[in-house]
Chains A and B, each alone.
Chain A
Amino acid sequence: MTFKSYWFSLLLVLVAALPGAAQTTTCLPATTQPADAPPDQVVQDFPAGGKAETGWKITYGRAVGKGLYITGAYFRRTPSEPYTQVLYDARLADIFAPYDPGTPRYYDLTGFNFRLVPVSSVDLGSCGSKLDRYVVKEIRDREMLWKDDKQGRRAQEMTIWGTLDASNYNYIMRYGFQDDGTITFRLGATAYNLPGHELVAHTHDGLWKIDMDLGGAKNNLVQVARHLQSKDSFEASYVISPFGDGYEDYLDWLPEEYTELHVINTSIVNANGNPIGYDLKPMRSGSPRHFEAFSHHDFWATVYKENEIIYDQVPTYVNGESLSGNDSVIWYQSSVYHIPHDEDGRYVNNVWQGVALVMWTGFDLRPRNFFSKTPLYP
Chain B
Amino acid sequence: MYRSHFFSILLTFLVLAPSAVVRGQTPEEDAREAFFTPTAAETSRAFAMAEQAIQERGLRATGPLYNISAELHRDKNAVTRNRLVLVTSYRYSGDVAILSYVDLTKGVVTRVDAISHTNVHLSEAEYLLAKEKALTTPKVRQQIGEYLGQIQVEAMVSHAAYEKDPLFGHRVVRLLFKVPSGGYLAQPIVFVDLTANQVLIDPEPNHSHAAVPSAQKH
B-binding residues in A (CB < 8 A): 38-40, 61-66, 71, 88-89, 94, 101-107, 110-113, 115, 132, 167-168, 192, 195-200, 211, 213, 217, 291-292, 304, 306-307, 310, 312-313, 327, 345, 347-348, 350-353
Contacts and interface: CB of A to CB of B under 8 A. Distances in A.
14 contacts: A63-B36, A63-B37, A94-B119, A101-B205, A102-B207, A104-B174, A107-B119, A110-B121, A168-B154, A195-B176, A195-B177, A195-B184, A306-B75, A345-B183
A177 B205 CA distance: 42
A196 B157 contact: no
Task: Count chain B CB atoms within 10 A of each CB in A38, A39, A89, A353 and give the residue with the most.
Answer: A39
B205 to A, nearest CB: 5
A40 B36 contact: yes
A351 B121 contact: no
Contacts of A313: 115, 118
B89 interface: no
Contacts of A101: 205-209, 211
Interface stretch (B45-53, B64-72, B132-140): B64-72
B10 interface: no
Contact of B189 (A168, A195, A304, A306): A195
B179 to A, nearest CB: 6
Contact of B76 (A62, A197, A304): A304
Nearest to B211: A103
Interface string B152-185: 0011111111100000000000101111010111
A253 B152 CA distance: 42
A312 B117 CA distance: 10
B176 A167 contact: yes
Given A101-B206, A107-B159, A195-B177, A61 B72 contact: yes
Given A103-B206, A112-B156, A198 B19 contact: no
B71 A352 contact: no
B218 interface: no
A113 B209 contact: no
B186 interface: yes
Across the A-B interface, give the 10 residue pairs with the lowest CB-CB distance, nearest first: A102-B209, A195-B184, A110-B119, A196-B189, A101-B207, A103-B211, A351-B183, A113-B121, A107-B119, A111-B119
Task: Count chain A CB atoms within 10 A of each CB in B75, B158, B183 and give the residue with the most.
Answer: B183
A39 B24 CA distance: 14
A358 B124 CA distance: 30
A224 B178 CA distance: 47
Contacts of B217: none
Contact of B186 (A102, A112, A196, A291): A196
Contacts of B72: 61, 63
